[in-house]
Amino acid sequence: MIFFIMRRLITLLPTLIVPLFLVFTLLHLSPGDPAAVMLGADATAQQVQALREQLGLNDPFLVQLFTWLGRMATLDLGDSIFLRMPVMDAILQRLEPTIMLTLYALTIAVVVGMVSGIVAAVNRNGVLDQVSMTVAMVGVSMPEFWFGLMLIVVFAVEFRLFPVAGYTPLDQGFWACIWSLTLPAVSVGLVQAGFIARITRSSMLDVIGEDFIRTARAKGLPSRVVILRHALKNALIPVLTVIGITFAVLMGGAIAIETVFNIPGIGRLLVNAVARRDYPVIQGVVLFMALTFIFINLFVDILYGFIDPRVKNQ
Amino acid sequence: MSVAGETSPPMLAIRDLQLGFRSHRGDVQALAGVSIEVGEREIVGIVGESGCGKSITALSVMGLLPEGTTRVMGGSIEFRGDDLLTLPPRERRQMRGRDIAMVFQEPMTSLNPIMPIGDQIAEPIRLHLGLKGAAVTEHALDVLDKVGIPRSRNILPDYPHQLSGGMRQRVMIAIALACNPSLIIADEPTTALDVTIQGQILDLMVEARDTFGTSILFITHDLGVVAEICDRVVVMYAGKVVETGRTDEVLSSPRHPYTQGLMRSLPSLDTRQERLETIPGSVPALFDMPRGCRFRPRCSYADDGCRRDPPVEVIGGQKVKCWKARQISGVHHA
Amino acid sequence: MPEALLRVNELRKDFVVGPMFRRKTVQAIRGVSFVLNKGETLGLVGESGCGKSTTGRAAIRLIEPSSGSIEYDGVDLASVGARDMRRLRQDLQIIFQDPYASLDPRMTVEQILTEPLGIQKIGTSAERRERVMDIIAEVGLQAAHAARYPHEFSGGQRQRIGIARSLILNPKMIVADEPVSALDVSVQAQIINLMQDVKAKHGMSYIFISHDLSVVKHICDRVAVMYLGEVVETASRDALYEEPLHPYTKALMSAIPGRRGAQKRITLKGDIPSPASPPRGCAFHTRCPSAMAICKTTPPQAIETGGRKVACHLYN
């Protein structure tokens, strides 16, 4: 197992280099002088020159690249131009709402998605199957921000069950925090649940048709045991991949939904940074998201190794 | 027919089993009145080509027919005198693995790929024998030892992909033998195996019968395998039994034109033939069955009389479902 | 003296398998030599992993051999250039075990059979059509079948299409890779007869790959027995079946189920070793009932005795 994880880590290195390089060149791909663009039309030549020095833009390309990579290695993402603080601090400040929202939405997506997928597969072509798959289809086709707005109109404005917007931090109580995030989490989570439900259903149906399920039934095991012990674990393998992707989609989805619900998270940070052309922050957030995505996938790969012995013995 | 059958009811008696199958071209009859008996300590072979209904017969005894598409339309399946088809589902399920066990064709796909061998053998032991903890492991090692995997070679923590094809089939047989069932249904258990491994597995099945007194219903397409291990043989064609009898009798003097054609189209190891004899045409599709005798369009003896359902003729120890059986065999009506 | 059509010398094929960092080499065939005579059917028999299929494919360069030579028509197929190979391809055809998987499901029978003629630029379209219809009749299909798709046929009929495709270019030799293994007994006999009929008519040679020793005995003139990537014994059909020499051949013969009047089955112990790590010395020594000390260390050389070849220390 340890060898398996080591091997996975090593194969990860090339995957790390690509986002690093892309994020670095982002600055250089922008039209015109990045320093001038950042400072806007009113900036004086001295201000631009000072910023160029600060950003190291006067150095040769390769020197800039390696200086930057060196800083990344020490987790120094540079300073925000607008917020007057290190980018790392800005990200860490905004991290909690985004993590809470993503985990909450992921929980909703996985629980609702897998349960309805399993129920649909077991009652193949039955009423429950038809109903849950129709709902899943509608869910998948619905834009999250629109669904979020509808939830606000119904549950916040009409019934006043949840706050219209805003975020209650964790240190004011776990349930208070959860309560404040319910509408945004449901709006992104349910949409992803539809996706997971469809994959779970088709994966379960594939497995239920396998010979070893027949063997399990031939042993006299009750259906419940056949489904939970034999079918589900095998069906989980493709579902796991989708959950990994869902995680990334949820983080991306946070950008829109944090704006709709006015939540002070990473997504809002990014949107604001783009509006102000705050390049170091944009770089920092994009890099942060890319790395998170890579590590989630590493985690999923390692989980494979635990579930499927064939993967690690390959 | 079986020796045991004369004194006590046979272990298994399938009587006039009719099975419907729903397809996109309408309902078809997959089994049209199949009757098969298996006596105590007896190995009975079912032979026939693909689509003859031999596997579906096995699955209907196990109660593992695909739900929704297949339906029993008539007949009975008596196991030690009780009709399995009228048993409540729960009792029927509890008999699986305990009284009747099954071995399948593909040992690779028939084992759960992500569950250790030990857990897969332990399942029926816990379920039916009520053993717990270390006793389960002991029993599992015992059974593996009986199928030729010595205790010293503890494979309980291994996964199926770590074993060879022959070992995997031994594990399948161990799972089947785990609760000492009265009847084992083996569906082409050696077809996926190499010929030198096939011999080992056939020996094992005969040994299981000799030491535990297990009856075996052995499904195969290979007449050579039948000759090797079966006491009696049932020949099926297009959803019907066409001939039954003692293996040596049926193979040395087949009486049904289909059995004869099957025997003749096999290349022989002993005699030199320039050309193989063939059965013209091919097996009819289920939705397009000829009336009367289903072998009629391919049979060289057939005439208009064969458009009626043929009777079962008893010739010597053999039962033959054919209008022409006596004429072919040169036996006259008694 | 029979005239050789194809001479295979010390043919090897290695496959590299496994994920990055843990690659290993599997020697699928390890120095296989045989001769295929004109008008002859040579059987390649053995169990799974013995390399019989790889040998058949490498012999007509459907897969690239790693080393060794294949003499055919004055050239070495193993090293001939792509352009010459395409010309030679006409002479060297193959029939697969699973005809369904080897026929393009979106092409009609006529398209399937016309395609090789188009690639080799043979005839006008009228001539091609005539040739296709002739072949369809020859393999026992009807003219109406030409416009149908593979899924509309039964297994036996599909194999007839496979045979028709291999015949269309008038080849000198055909590699038949388990052509009847997937078929029912009654259909199997039809296909075996058809293969013999077309050979009698066109006079080509077959390499007939099979694990079924009864079928091989019926159709082959000579037989090469393979075990773990090597030929252990080569002999004429009658010599091999009357008196097998190699202990593996003996075990194989005795294991044929239901062989009437046969002596007691020689049950080999254990499993076939993995081709990824064949035993040292004689590859068969781990299962051989007659293994001696030398077998564990020294691989036996094939020796000729009475017109047949056997690779076993018992005969040195």
CA distance B105 to B187: 6
Q: Could you tell me if B174 and B146 are in contact, meaning their C-beta atoms sit under 8 angstroms apart? A: yes
Cβ-Cβ contacts under 8 Å for B270 (sequence gap 6 or more):
C260, C261
CA distance C83 to C170: 19
Distances (CA, A) of B74 to B23, B85, C33, C65, C306: 19, 10, 61, 59, 65
Average of per-residue pLDDT across B292-306: 93
Number of domains present in the structure of chain B: 1
CA distance C18 to chain A (A): 7
Q: Could you tell me if B213 and B41 are in contact, meaning their C-beta atoms sit under 8 angstroms apart? A: yes
pLDDT tens-digit series, residues C37-83: 999 999 999 988 899 999 999 999 999 999 999 999 889 999 999 89
CA distance B291 to B294: 6
Chains touching chain C, criterion 3+ CB pairs below 8 Å: A, B
pLDDT tens-digit series, residues B211-236: 999 999 999 999 999 999 999 999 99
**Could you give the residue range(s) of every CATH 3.40.50.300 domain in chain C?**
4-91+169-315
CA distance C20 to chain A (A): 9
How many beta carbons lie within 10 A of that of residue C138, not counting itself?
17
The two structure tokens encoding residue C94: 């193959």
Cβ-Cβ contacts under 8 Å for A295 (sequence gap 6 or more):
none
- Looking at residue C55, its amino acid is T
Is residue A214 less than 8 Å (CB to CB) from chain B? yes
List the single residue in A with minimal CA-CA distance to B93: A220
If we measure between CA atoms, which residue out of B261, B209, B235 comes closest to residue B46? B235
CATH of the domain at B293: 3.40.50.300
Which residues lie across from C14 on neighbouring strands?
Answer: C27
Written as one string, the DSSP assignment of A92-118 is: HHHHHHHHHHHHHHHHHHHHHHHHHHH
Q: C167: which DSSP letter?
A: H
pLDDT tens-digit series, residues A57-94: 777 878 888 888 888 878 788 888 778 889 899 999 99
List the single residue in B with minimal CA-CA distance to C251: B196
What residues make up the domain containing B75? 4-99+181-329
The two structure tokens encoding residue C131: 């040739």
Cβ-Cβ contacts under 8 Å for C195 (sequence gap 6 or more):
C163, C176, C179, C206, C219
Is residue C124 less than 8 Å (CB to CB) from chain B? no
Instruction: Evaluate if residue B187 carries a pLDDT over 50.
Output: yes
At B272, the pLDDT band (50, 70, 90 cuts) reads: confident
When mean pLDDT is compared across A68-77, A234-243, C165-174, the lowest value belongs to A68-77
Distances (CA, A) of A158 to A150, A155, A186, A257, C17: 11, 6, 17, 20, 63
Written as one string, the DSSP assignment of B200-246 is: HHHHHHHHHHHHH--EEEEEES-HHHHHHH-SEEEEEETTEEEEEEE
At C190, the pLDDT band (50, 70, 90 cuts) reads: very high
pLDDT tens-digit series, residues B197-216: 888 899 999 999 999 999 99
Q: A227: which DSSP letter?
A: I
Q: Which residues of C5-44 are buried (b: 16+ CB within 10 A; e: fewer)?
A: bbebbebbbeeeeeeeeeeeebbbbbbbbbbbbebbbbbb
Would the CB atoms of C259 and B269 count as touching at under 8 Å?
yes
C160 burial level (CB within 10 Å; 0-12, 13-18, 19+): buried
The two structure tokens encoding residue A259: 């704006």
Instruction: Please state which architecture CATH assigns to domain C4-91+169-315.
Output: 3-Layer(aba) Sandwich (3.40)
Q: Which residues of A204-220 are buried (b: 16+ CB within 10 A; e: fewer)?
A: bbebbebbbbbbbbbbb
Asked if the structure places residue B154 within a domain, the reply is: no
Q: pLDDT at position A46, please?
A: 84
CA distance C143 to C128: 14
Q: Could you tell me if B223 and B235 are in contact, meaning their C-beta atoms sit under 8 angstroms apart? A: no
List the single residue in A with minimal CA-CA distance to B96: A220
Instruction: Evaluate if residue B331 carries a pLDDT over 60.
Output: yes
CA distance A221 to A214: 10
> At B167, is the secondary structure helix, strand, or coil?
helix
Task: Provide the sign of the torsion angle of the four alpha carbons C29, C30, C33, C34, taken in this order.
Answer: negative
List the single residue in B with minimal CA-CA distance to A235: B114
CB pairs under 8 A between A and B: 73
Would the CB atoms of C19 and A10 count as touching at under 8 Å?
no
Report the DSSP pairing between strands C230-236 and C308-310.
Answer: antiparallel
CA distance A308 to A233: 9
Instruction: Output Rg (C-alpha) for chain A, integer angstroms.
Output: 24
Would the CB atoms of B111 and A210 count as touching at under 8 Å?
no
Q: pLDDT at position B1, please?
A: 44
Partners of C22 on chain A (C-beta within 8 Å) are 314
Cβ-Cβ contacts under 8 Å for A72 (sequence gap 6 or more):
A20, A287
Chains touching chain A, criterion 3+ CB pairs below 8 Å: B, C
> At B18, is the secondary structure helix, strand, or coil?
strand
Mean pLDDT of chain B: 90
The two structure tokens encoding residue B140: 């599992």
**pTM for the full predicted model:** 0.86
Would the CB atoms of C186 and B266 count as touching at under 8 Å?
no
Would the CB atoms of B64 and A217 count as touching at under 8 Å?
yes
Would the CB atoms of A314 and C20 count as touching at under 8 Å?
no
Asked if the structure places residue B277 within a domain, the reply is: yes
pLDDT tens-digit series, residues C134-169: 999 999 999 999 999 999 998 889 999 999 999 999
Report the DSSP pairing between strands C24-37 and C4-17.
Answer: antiparallel
When mean pLDDT is compared across B151-155, B255-259, B293-297, the lowest value belongs to B151-155
CA distance C160 to C183: 12
Mean pLDDT of chain A: 86
Q: Which residues of C touch A (CB under 8 A)?
A: 18-22
Measured N-to-C along each axis, helices B165-177 and B117-129 cross at an angle, to the nearest 10 degrees, of 10
Q: C175: which DSSP letter?
A: E
List the single residue in C with minimal CA-CA distance to A11: C20
C140 burial level (CB within 10 Å; 0-12, 13-18, 19+): middle
Percent of chain A whose pLDDT exceeds 70? 97
Cβ-Cβ contacts under 8 Å for A178 (sequence gap 6 or more):
A100, A104
Is residue B119 less than 8 Å (CB to CB) from chain A? no
Average of per-residue pLDDT across C268-280: 86
**Which of C48, C53, C181, C186 is most worth mutating to test chain B (most B CB atoms within 10 A of its CB)?**
C186
B33 burial level (CB within 10 Å; 0-12, 13-18, 19+): middle
Mean pLDDT of chain C: 91
Q: A46: which DSSP letter?
A: H
C302 burial level (CB within 10 Å; 0-12, 13-18, 19+): middle
Sheet containing strand C24-37, edge to edge, reads C24-37, C4-17, C67-72, C75-76
Report the DSSP pairing between strands B70-79 and B82-83.
Answer: antiparallel
CA distance C76 to C72: 6
At C20, the pLDDT band (50, 70, 90 cuts) reads: low
The two structure tokens encoding residue C113: 């059979």
Asked if the structure places residue B121 within a domain, the reply is: no
> At C106, is the secondary structure helix, strand, or coil?
coil
Going from the N-terminus, what domains does chain A have, and what CATH number goes with each? 2-73 (no CATH), 92-307 (1.10.3720.10)
Distance of CA A84 to the CA centre of its chain: 28
